[in-house]
Amino acid sequence: MAEKKITLTREGKDKLQAELEELKKNKRPAVIERIKRAKDFGDLSENAEYEDARNEQSFIEGRIQEIEYILKYAHIVESKGSSEVSLGSKVKLEIDGDKLEYELVGSSEANPSAGKISGESPIGMAVIGKKKGDKVSAITPGGKINIKILEIK
């Protein structure tokens, strides 16, 4: 099976490493303690606290595995500078008259409500490789949009 490169910014990698540390050092031991306490309540077949703790443990272990996988295959991108839009760039765009700021990140870091869009998104694909002042269009689920690149950081 081919190894997949997962694109991350330096900030994204740092956040994942901090989350992994928090899960391993604090949350995992806390949920193990909850399970031990719940076992003391008796019959496990009707013990809601035990069931809840086991579900939380399952979620934590799954998230640990997911983060370890992402970090194992992470490829860190740095912005290439301000002359051309690339992954890691922060851009100010005018989209159909509205001025918006985004950071272009890998798909695993994307969070549009926080101003982070994937380079694989319609807007990301439209602006990557373009320069300040360029005008492009993108086809989004909401229809065609017109984009002007106002600033690249």
CATH number at residue 12: 1.10.287.180
Q: What is the structure's pLDDT at 45?
A: 67
- Burial of 98 per CB tally in 10 Å (0-12, 13-18, 19+): exposed
Residue 87 belongs to some domain of the structure: yes
Backbone angles phi, psi at 118, to 5 degrees: -75, 145
Residue 1 belongs to some domain of the structure: no
pLDDT tens digits for range 74-132: 999 877 667 899 999 999 999 989 999 999 999 889 999 999 999 999 999 999 999 99
145 and 84 fall within a common domain: yes
What are the structure tokens assigned to 26, written together?
């604090």
Residue 119 belongs to some domain of the structure: yes
pLDDT tens digits for range 16-65: 999 999 999 999 999 999 999 888 877 666 778 888 999 999 999 999 99
Residue at 64: amino acid letter: I
Q: In total, how many domains does the chain have? A: 2
Q: How far is CA 148 from the centre of its chain?
A: 25
138 and 127 fall within a common domain: yes
Q: Would you report the helix, strand and coil content of the chain in percent, each value rounded to 5?
A: 45, 25, 30
Query: Is residue 1's pLDDT more than 60?
Result: no
The whole domain housing 92 covers 78-152
What are the structure tokens assigned to 50, written together?
């035990």
Residue listed under structure tokens 């984009």: 147
Q: What is the structure's pLDDT at 44?
A: 66
82 and 148 fall within a common domain: yes
109 and 128 fall within a common domain: yes
48 and 85 fall within a common domain: no
What are the structure tokens assigned to 53, written together?
């703790």
CATH number at residue 95: 3.10.50.30
Residue at 109: amino acid letter: E
71 and 133 fall within a common domain: no
**Following DSSP, what letter does each residue of 90-146 receive, concatenated?**
EEEEEETTEEEEEEEE-TTT-BGGGTEEETTSHHHHHHTT--TT-EEEEEETTEEEE
56 and 107 fall within a common domain: no
